[in-house]
Each structure stands twice: as C-alpha cells, then as structure tokens.
C-alpha cells in the first residue's frame, strides 16, 4: 500500500472489512468484504458505521472522503441460523482436510465421500458426508468403513455456525489490511 504504485492502484483494491453490529466479522472464511462501491452505498443508506479508513481519498463534485477500510453494520444480523448443507461448508467443517489420511488440501483437490456408500443405502447428509482426497475416495470405493478399515477422523455431524466461524478463523486471507487486524484473531497470523 506504499510507494508510487499506490496512485495507480485500482480502486477495486480497497475492500472494506464488514463487521456485524457486535464488531465481529460477519464471516471469517471467506472473509466478509465489500468493494468500495458497495461500502459507499451502504454508508449513504445509513446501514453501516465507518470504523476505520484507508489513506486513499476519493473526490466527486462537492464531496471528498477517505475510502473506508472497516465498517460495522448498524443492525445486528443473527448468526444462529443452521448452516446450509453446502460443498463449501462441509469442507470448512472438516477444515479442508481429508478425513481418512488427514491431509489438508486446497478445495479443487478435495472431494466428498459417503461414509456409508450410496450403493449401501448411505444418505447425502451432514451425518454421512465427509471431506476426502481423491486417492482415499477411490481407495474406499463402495465399501463400508469396517470393511476397509477406513474410519473418518471425526464422526460427521451437523456443524454449528460457531464451529464454522471458528474453523474459518484459521484460514488467513491473501490480503490483510493493517486496519483489519484488531478485528481478526487468526490462529496463525498476528505479529507480536
């Protein structure tokens, strides 16, 4: 964010971290971010309060303002909904880790495994789907865990929103503006 490059930096490079009304990030992974246009719109609609700014100033006729780097919603969005059963949330529950060989992998290298195979009556549900690498998924095939001695490291369950938030904290984003640090408590990231 320094040096002569800053002046030519696209405005799209100024995302705002979005906090809930309790000043916790709405989501950790993916991190809740808005682009600057969305952020400015929300300010004009009085939906958010600006918490911190970038140094970058934007001018329009009659207006001059610094781009917000952190905003907080004025109205609290409850986080108690049951997490939807999605591909992403299954990976997040399992921390992007194959539940058989315990290898952590990027999403494109992961797949799902039916603990009880579909051909044996297994359902596609939180309780029967686990994250697996392709190798383990192939190896297990249509056998039951007991038949191939492959048991998931954790018994698959429906995760709580809190559990998903907690897991998401351990995945720092590629870009982390210094003004966000006070609001993000990564397990791995913070400097002393």
Shortest Å, Cβ 127 to Zn ion: 20
Residue 36 or 100: the one with the smaller Cβ distance to Zn ion is 100
Residue 101 or 176: the one with the smaller Cβ distance to Zn ion is 101
Residue 93 or 169: the one with the smaller Cβ distance to Zn ion is 93
Shortest Å, Cβ 83 to Zn ion: 24
| Residue numbers at the binding site for Zn ion (CB under 5 A) | 98, 100-101, 133, 136
Residue 33 or 98: the one with the smaller Cβ distance to Zn ion is 98
Shortest Å, Cβ 136 to Zn ion: 3
Structure-block tokens of residue 112: 């799902």
Shortest Å, Cβ 169 to Zn ion: 24
């Amino acid at each position: 964010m320094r040096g002569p490059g800053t002046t030519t930096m696209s405005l799209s490079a100024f995302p705002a971290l979005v906090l809930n009304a309790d000043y916790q990030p709405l989501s950790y992974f993916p991190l809740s971010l808005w682009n600057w246009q969305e952020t400015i719109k929300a300010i004009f609609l009085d939906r958010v309060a600006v918490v911190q700014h970038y140094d970058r100033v934007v001018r329009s006729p009659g207006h001059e303002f610094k781009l917000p780097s952190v905003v907080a919603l004025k109205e609290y969005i409850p986080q108690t909904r049951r997490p939807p059963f999605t591909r992403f949330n299954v990976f997040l529950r399992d921390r992007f880790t194959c539940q058989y060989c315990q290898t952590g992998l990027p999403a494109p290298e992961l797949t799902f495994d039916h603990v009880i195979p579909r051909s044996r009556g297994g359902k596609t549900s939180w309780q029967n789907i686990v994250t697996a690498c392709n190798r383990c998924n192939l190896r297990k095939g249509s056998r039951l865990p007991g038949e191939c001695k492959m048991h998931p490291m954790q018994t698959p369950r429906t995760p709580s929103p809190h559990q998903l938030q907690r897991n998401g904290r351990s995945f720092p984003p590629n870009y982390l503006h210094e003004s966000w640090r006070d609001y993000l408590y990564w397990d791995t990231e913070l400097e002393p």
